[in-house]
Amino acid sequence: MTTPGGQKCTGRSEDILSFPCEVNPEFWFSKRSTEIREAKEACGHCPVRPECAELGQDEEFGIWGGLGPDDRAAEKRLQLISLEAMINSRIRIMQAEGMSISAMARELDMPRTTLVRRLRRATGLAA
Ligand code: SF4
């Protein structure tokens, strides 16, 4: 693969000192779609891509681990939706088991008032 900086990156550990983003960092903070696309493509072959994506998950700017700000925001929304679904599923199970609101709140490590508000808000989860 040829990096945005014109270097050859094979993804081997000895290439770590010449990550594409270190050679040509402006591509990773560019506003041009072609440069952003090339930066993301280069990240896709980087041996530390997962770690880099995790490191940059709260960064406001730049491409980190192949993810730009919009990608990171979309990923966080998906994580939140998934977490909400998991909590709702646990609540339904606990309700089916006949647990009290207080016991459910303790189980979820959630303030009782928050759980009550949540139950009132959610359809199909009447308190
Ligand atoms: S994954 Fe991270 S370290 Fe690797 S090229 Fe992309 S921005 Fe650089």
| pLDDT recorded at residue 53 | 93
Q: What is the pLDDT of residue 114?
A: 93
Which pLDDT does position 52 carry in this prediction? 92
The model carries a pTM of 0.69
Which residue shows structure tokens 């402006």?
26
**What is the distance in A from the centroid of ligand 1 to the CA of 56?**
10
Cα atoms in the Cβ-side hemisphere of radius 13 Å centred on 97: 12
Atom 8, ligand 1: which residue's CA is nearest? 21
Ligand 1 contact, 36 CB (< 6 A): no
Segment 15-50, tens digit of pLDDT: 445 687 887 889 999 999 999 999 999 999 898 999
Q: What's CA 32's distance to the chain center, in Å?
A: 23
73, 84, 118 from 90: Cα distances, Å: 26, 10, 13
Domain residue ranges in the chain:
13-67, 73-121
| Average pLDDT taken over every residue of the chain | 85
pLDDT at 2: 41
Question: Torsion angle of alpha carbons 60, 53, 7, 36, nearest 10°?
Answer: -40
